[in-house]
Amino acid sequence: MDNSKYLKDMGNKIKAARKARKIGLPTLSKQCNVDMSNLWFIENGESNIHILTLKSIADVFGMDVKEFL
CB 45 within 8 A of CB 7: yes
Going along the chain from its start, the domains and CATH numbers come out as 3-68 (1.10.260.40)
* 30 Cβ contact list (under 8 Å, min separation 6): none
Question: Residue 33 has what pLDDT?
Answer: 96
Largest Cα–Cα distance in the chain?
Answer: 32
pLDDT (average), residues 11-19 = 98
Question: Residue 43 has what pLDDT?
Answer: 98
Write the pLDDT tens digit of every residue in 30-64. Answer: 999 999 999 999 999 999 999 999 999 999 999 99
Question: Residue 54 has what pLDDT?
Answer: 97
pLDDT(1) > 90 = no
CA–CA dist 21, 1 (Å, integer): 29
- Predicted model pTM: 0.94
